[in-house]
Structure 1
Amino acid sequence: MKSITFYFDVISPYAALAFERLPEALEGLNVVVDYRPILFAGLLKAWGQKGPAEMEPKRQWTFRQVAWSAHRLGIELQTPAEHPFNPLALQRLAWACGPNRRVVEKLFHHVWHGGLDANHPGRLERLQQELAPACDPADDEVKQTLRQATEDAIARGVFGVPTLEVDGRLFWGLDSLDMAAAYLRGDSWFRGDAWDEAGRPRAGVVRRER
């Protein structure tokens, strides 16, 4: 049985869509999924990137493309009332509960169903009561677990969410699910040098800040 690590942050609509589509993409495969909450903001800081919602033209395109993808896939998805928002409380809650598929589904639906405020205190309180975490999400141990998971992901080369890791190979984005599934099904492309060759460094111009 293969193990897959699903790195996610509930702030990402692409992670929400990938979560919903994952069972279909992996249908017929003997796999177990380890759901790993991390902080997208931590990835952005580590790799020197801006989030798509921080650039207005990219924000507009991102949510149009996300809405189209949800429509095409037949997945319910409504953008929360405020976005971007701080997902820290929700990611900590995931670790406090133990991030299995039921817990992660509740978190994604909390954010991406209904178009409501993901951080509304009353909604957060009700969600925590429903999930009944084993410990307080504000405990230092939970906070450290989330920090360490994010640092470990960065060390493994994770730069965005969602990312799937299989056998040390990283598959980033909603549109990589089919690629990951092809690898798991033994597609011959992955048995040769194509993977390494496609990713090897090339000579090129380096952009310098002025």
Structure 2
Amino acid sequence: MKTLTFHLDFISPYAHLAFEHLPQALQGISHAVDYRPVLFAAMLKHGGQLGPAEIPGKREWTYRQVLWLGHANGIDIQMPAAHPFNPLPLLRLALACGRDGLVNRHVAETVFRHVWHGGADAADPARLAALRARLAPARDPDGDEVKAELRANTEAAIAAGVFGVPALVADGRVFWGFDSLPMLRAALQGDPWFDTHWDGAASVVQGIRR
């Protein structure tokens, strides 16, 4: 059985799509999934980048594409009333329901659907309070222990080569994005392409730096 690590931030619509589609994508493959919340904004800062929702033109395209991908793949998704938003309360709440930096699928699903179903404001205080009451975390989401776990998850992901969400890590390989799920499935099924092409792709010389 393969163990996968799913790095997620609830702010990402692509993470929601990948999360919802993952059971179908891995059907018939013996596997376990570790769900690790991370702070996408910290990854962007580490790489000196803006998020897609911060770039005019790309922002609008991103929202159109994710809604289309949901439609095309039968995944329920609606844009929240405001995006981007501060995901820290949601990330910490999820971690407060788990242990050692991991959350279970039920918790992750509940938080994702809080954001991506219904079109409401994901950061609305009343909705956040209702979500907290529903999940009944065993730990304080605002406590130092939970905050430290989120930092540690994010730092470990960056050290492992994760640069965005969703990112699934299997056998030391990072698979990024909703559209990487078929590639992940092929790798887990032992497709020989990975033996000859995975490492070779990383050896291409960078011809210019900006």
Q: TM-score, normalised by structure 2?
A: 0.96
In the alignment, what sits opposite 1:148?
152
1:69 and 2:69 correspond:
yes
Can you list the C-alpha shifts for 1:115-137, whole angstroms capped at 9, x where unaligned? 10101111111111111111110
Can you list the C-alpha shifts for 1:80-104, whole angstroms capped at 9, x where unaligned? 1010000000000111001100000
Letter in 1 for 2:77: L
Q: Helix, strand or coil for the counterpart of 1:182?
A: helix
Q: Helix, strand or coil for the counterpart of 1:4?
A: strand
Can you list the C-alpha shifts for 1:107-153, whole angstroms capped at 9, x where unaligned? 00000001101011111111111111111100100001001100110
Q: Helix, strand or coil for the counterpart of 1:171?
A: strand
1:22 and 2:26 correspond:
no
Letter in 2 for 1:110: H
Letter in 2 for 1:45: K
In the alignment, what sits opposite 2:143?
139
1:122 and 2:140 correspond:
no
Query: Of the candidates 151, 170, 189, which is equivalent to residue 166 of structure 1?
Result: 170
The unaligned stretches of length 5 or more in structure 2 are none
Q: Helix, strand or coil for the counterpart of 2:168?
A: strand
Query: Of the candidates 108, 113, 118, which is equivalent to residue 117 of structure 2?
Result: 113
Identity within the alignment, %: 60
What is the count of residue pairs matched by the alignment?
206
Q: Helix, strand or coil for the counterpart of 1:6?
A: strand
Query: Of the candidates 200, 205, 209, which is equivalent to residue 206 of structure 1?
Result: 209
Residues of 1 paired with 2:176 and 2:50: CA distance?
A: 17
**Which consecutive aligned stretches of 4+ in structure 1 deviate over 6 angstroms post-superposition?**
none
Q: Helix, strand or coil for the counterpart of 1:36?
A: strand
Letter in 2 for 1:30: S
Tell me the CA shift for residue 49 of structure 1: 0.8
In the alignment, what sits opposite 1:185?
189
Residues of 1 paired with 2:163 and 2:45: CA distance?
A: 10
Letter in 2 for 1:204: G
Letter in 1 for 2:7: Y
Can you list the C-alpha shifts for 1:22-60, whole angstroms capped at 9, x where unaligned? 000000011000000000000000011100011110001
Residues of 2 paired with 1:132 and 1:206: CA distance?
A: 49
